[in-house]
């Protein structure tokens, strides 16, 4: 249980009453930590399908005593989650019975839909010719990418939209052939940019607008720019890493807006676009009336404590990855489509489900057992009364129910813990090793300079590097992903004051920002930033 003091605001109580749940016992950060510990996004293992026997890859390690099907077998019509139905026993805790059901219902190795010629993709939809892509949709020919939408022909990108021919980029919009950059829109043919707009043929620039042939914010002639580019030797690792260090040092001399919030009314958090009344939200766009949430997008409305909710979802509480016309759900995991579901996992296109696992297109079920609408309401209310008696209705699943080790999940990215700390808090730790070490051959198998794990190139990846004259990466895909996520900053806010000083005096504007007080960036309020940069 959370040991930190936290206040519940009046509007929060109104939301809990509307959803019919009890006020939480944990603070928002601990609630998020608990949810994230139930999601394995990108830690994959070799594991055969328990149905067809074919060898494959899975997010479940082979030592886990679970039944795991490959994607085709899990979505086949020759099995039904109803076959695992259990009667509710009023003499035993409901969560204990739900955990028993969760352990026996087959799991799917990866969660994705409408995938064409894709390999190793997870929590994704509507992708084509993609490889090792997670939390992404409507992309084509993408590799090693995370949370990308409508992008193509790119490698190592994250949180980007409408981009092509990109490499090692984060938070990019409608850009083309831009490398090692973050927070830019409508830029092309450039390297190492930060918070730039409509820039072409630029290197190492920060906060630039409508620029061409600029290096470290200085204007050059076309000839001088081309000479600098040749001398920079960005086709070599030495050239890339030298410029990376210069760029990181240069960024510390330039002002940074306290948060990346644009076209957003009454919002707090970071990475917010076209939103309204979203408080303490991160990676949020086209959303309204959400709170304490991450990845709320495409008409997500009236949600609290959710991680990934979009494509028209409404009235969601304490859920993990809900999408595609979902509403009125409490404590669900990877439920796509449907309404009025509580304590459900991996259920799709169903309604009025309580404590169910792996059901498709079912209604009025409890512990996967079918009931009439009248029977369902009576038993559901009886279970809710039991949960409320222990003051746990609305609390997420117990940590012990997670099928994953804490270190396999994004909880470790946002809330890093040692193995001892993890076990003390009731989570699991996964010791199964992945990959190989010490087999570098200098041709297609390399050793990561950070973690030492071997990684290899596919022919398509090698072709991409050759096309853009990119040197062989020194880090494995996992470490490159970790570097991008760390550079974004944590999904956490601190109260700070604007650092702008002028002859007129010090700016006294205050704000909430994800830049921690001990960081070295120069942080401005929106007014000062716009005056100096926009």
Instruction: Name the average pLDDT for the chain.
Output: 96
| pLDDT the model gives residue 4 | 67
User: What's the rounded mean pLDDT across residues 96-120?
Assistant: 96
User: What's the rounded mean pLDDT across residues 339-353?
Assistant: 97
Three-state DSSP at 443 gives: coil
| pLDDT the model gives residue 231 | 98
User: What's the rounded mean pLDDT across residues 480-490?
Assistant: 96
Q: Cα torsion at 320, 323, 328, 329 (round to 10°)?
A: -30
Instruction: Please choose, from the candidates 280, 318, 324, the residue with its C-alpha nearest in 3D space to the C-alpha of residue 300.
Output: 324
Residue for token pair 């000479």: 227
Looking at the chain, the number of H-run helices and the number of E-run strands are 12, 32
Which phi and psi (to 5°) does residue 24 adopt?
A: -70, 155
Own/partner contacts of 78-81, CB < 8 Å, gap of 24 or more, are 79/51, 79/106, 81/105, 81/356, 81/357, 81/358, 81/359, 81/360, 81/362, 81/368
Q: How far apart are CA 395 and CA 217, in angstroms?
A: 50
User: For the segment 374-429, what is each residue's pLDDT rounded down to a tens digit?
Assistant: 999 999 999 999 999 999 999 999 999 999 999 999 999 999 999 999 999 999 99
Provide the pLDDT confidence category of residue 458 given band limits of 50, 70 and 90.
Answer: confident
| pLDDT the model gives residue 405 | 98
339 has a pLDDT exceeding 50: yes
5 has a pLDDT exceeding 90: no
| pLDDT the model gives residue 1 | 46
DSSP 10: H
User: What's the rounded mean pLDDT across residues 483-493?
Assistant: 96
86 has a pLDDT exceeding 60: yes
Q: How far apart are CA 114 and CA 133, in angstroms?
A: 14
176 has a pLDDT exceeding 60: yes
Distances in Å between the alpha carbon of 476 and those of 42, 231, 241, 279, 281? 13, 27, 15, 36, 30
Q: How far apart are CA 219 and CA 224, in angstroms?
A: 10
What residues contact 123, with CB distance under 8 A and at least 6 apart? 39, 41, 111, 112, 134, 135, 308, 321, 334
Residue predicted with more confidence, 502 or 102: 102
Q: What angle do CA 325, 34, 287 make, to 5 degrees?
A: 35
3 has a pLDDT exceeding 70: no
Residue predicted with more confidence, 433 or 499: 499
| pLDDT the model gives residue 280 | 98
130 has a pLDDT exceeding 60: yes
pTM: 0.95
Enumerate the domain spans of the chain.
Answer: 115-257, 262-397, 494-532
């Amino acid at each position: 249980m959370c040991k930190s003091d936290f206040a519940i605001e009046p509007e929060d109580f109104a939301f809990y009453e509307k959803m019919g749940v009890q006020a939480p016992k944990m603070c928002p950060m601990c609630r998020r930590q608990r949810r994230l510990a139930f999601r394995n996004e990108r830690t994959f293992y070799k594991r055969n399908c328990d149905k067809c026997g074919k060898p494959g890859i899975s997010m479940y390690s082979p030592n886990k005593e679970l039944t795991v099907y490959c994607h085709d077998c899990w979505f086949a019509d020759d099995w039904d989650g109803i076959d695992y139905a259990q009667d509710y026993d009023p003499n035993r805790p409901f969560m204990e019975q739900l955990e028993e059901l969760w352990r026996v219902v087959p799991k799917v190795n990866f969660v994705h839909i409408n995938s064409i010629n894709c390999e190793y993709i997870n929590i994704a939809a509507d992708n084509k010719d993609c490889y090792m892509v997670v939390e992404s949709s409507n992309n084509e020919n993408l590799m090693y990418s995370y949370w990308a939408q409508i992008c193509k022909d790119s490698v190592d990108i994250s949180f980007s939209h409408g981009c092509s021919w990109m490499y090692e980029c984060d938070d990019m919009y409608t850009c083309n052939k831009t490398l090692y950059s973050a927070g830019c829109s409508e830029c092309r043919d450039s390297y190492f940019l930060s918070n730039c707009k409509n820039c072409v043929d630029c290197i190492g620039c920060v906060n630039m607008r409508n620029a061409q042939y600029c290096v470290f914010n200085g204007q050059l002639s076309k000839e001088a720019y081309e000479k600098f580019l040749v001398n920079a030797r960005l086709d070599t690792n030495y050239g890339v890493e030298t410029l990376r260090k210069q760029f990181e040092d240069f960024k510390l001399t330039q002002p940074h807006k306290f948060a990346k919030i644009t076209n957003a009314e009454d919002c707090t958090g970071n990475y917010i676009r076209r939103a309204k009344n979203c408080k303490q939200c991160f990676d949020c766009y086209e959303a309204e009336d959400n709170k304490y949430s991450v990845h709320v997008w495409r008409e997500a409305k009236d949600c609290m404590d959710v991680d990934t909710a979009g494509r028209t979802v409404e009235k969601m509480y304490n859920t993990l990855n809900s999408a595609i016309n979902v509403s009125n759900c409490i404590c669900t995991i990877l439920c796509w489509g449907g309404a009025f579901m509580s304590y459900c996992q991996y259920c799709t296109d169903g309604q009025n489900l309580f404590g169910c696992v792996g059901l498709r297109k079912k209604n009025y079920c409890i512990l996967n057992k079918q009931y009439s609408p009248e029977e369902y309401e009576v038993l559901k209310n009886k279970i809710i009364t039991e949960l409320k008696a222990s003051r746990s209705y609305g609390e997420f699943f117990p940590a012990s129910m997670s099928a994953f080790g804490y270190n396999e999940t994004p909880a470790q990215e946002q809330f890093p813990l040692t193995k001892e700390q993890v076990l003390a808090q009731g989570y699991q730790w996964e010791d199964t090793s992945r990959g190989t070490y010490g087999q570098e051959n200098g041709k297609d198998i390399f050793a990561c300079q950070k973690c030492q794990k071997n990684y290899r190139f596919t022919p398509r990846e090698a072709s991409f590097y050759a096309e853009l004259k990119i040197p062989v990466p020194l880090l494995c895909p996992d470490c490159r992903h970790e570097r991008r996520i760390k550079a974004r900053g944590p999904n956490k806010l601190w109260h700070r004051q604007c650092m702008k000083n002028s002859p007129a005096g010090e700016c006294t504007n205050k704000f909430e920002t994800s830049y921690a007080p001990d960081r070295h960036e120069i942080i401005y309020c929106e007014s000062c930033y716009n005056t100096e940069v926009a």
